[in-house]
Amino acid sequence: MNIVESKIYKMRPGYLSKFDSLVKRFAQFGGGAEENKYIEGHGFSSAYQFYTFAFFIGLYANSPLDLSPDDKLVDFWEIENWKPRPLINQLISCALAESDFDMVGVENFDESMVTQEVKKIRMTIERFANGGFEIIQNSIDENPDEVANDDFFVKMLSNGSAHSTSSITS
């Protein structure tokens, strides 16, 4: 594994603390036995699965959330531990495409410059994931009864227009 790949997979992207209750409501935290992951009725068996989902919602809706360097983000686990790997590689590929990562220049950068380039990818992931969380939260706020439907999250992703709450309820 080269230094760029190593740094990418060691990233710990985060979400804004204002989404902490949303994430904890729908995602299992702390691991545990597979058979115990659904006891509390979480829609996602891990925080990184919900985070990945939120990233793609934000990406599909083209709704990155502006984050400032002063924003306190909650992180949870290195990307190298997220699964399934093909989906995570797709997330990274999309973040690469959306960021201004210098794909050519990084080959000749020293380690500190590589770190700065990888930070662009992390920030892109965070912006789209937090944008997705905002879309999800707004959808729940506008139609609180819809979240009780088993297919709430499926509809958000399958509609392709996740930023429109009306498309979720139809």
Both tokens of 103, joined, read 């794909």
Distances (CA, A) of 50 to 19, 71, 98: 12, 20, 20
Report pLDDT digits (tens) over 19-64: 999 999 999 876 555 555 555 567 898 999 999 999 999 999 999 9
What's the whole-number mean pLDDT along residues 157-169? Answer: 53
Least confident of 26-40, 84-98, 128-142, 155-169: 155-169
Q: Which helix (H) or strand (E) holds 83?
A: none
User: pTM (2 decimals)?
Assistant: 0.89
- Let me know: does 59 contact 68? Beta carbons within 8 Å: no
- Let me know: does 56 contact 136? Beta carbons within 8 Å: no
Selection from 23, 153, 160, 8 nearest residue 95 by Cα: 8
Specify the residue for token string 């080269």.
2
116 CA to centre of own chain = 20
Selection from 124, 67, 117 nearest residue 92 by Cα: 124
Both tokens of 115, joined, read 């770190």
Evaluate if residue 160 carries a pLDDT over 90: no
What does DSSP say about strands 73-75 and 14-16: parallel, antiparallel, or unpaired? antiparallel
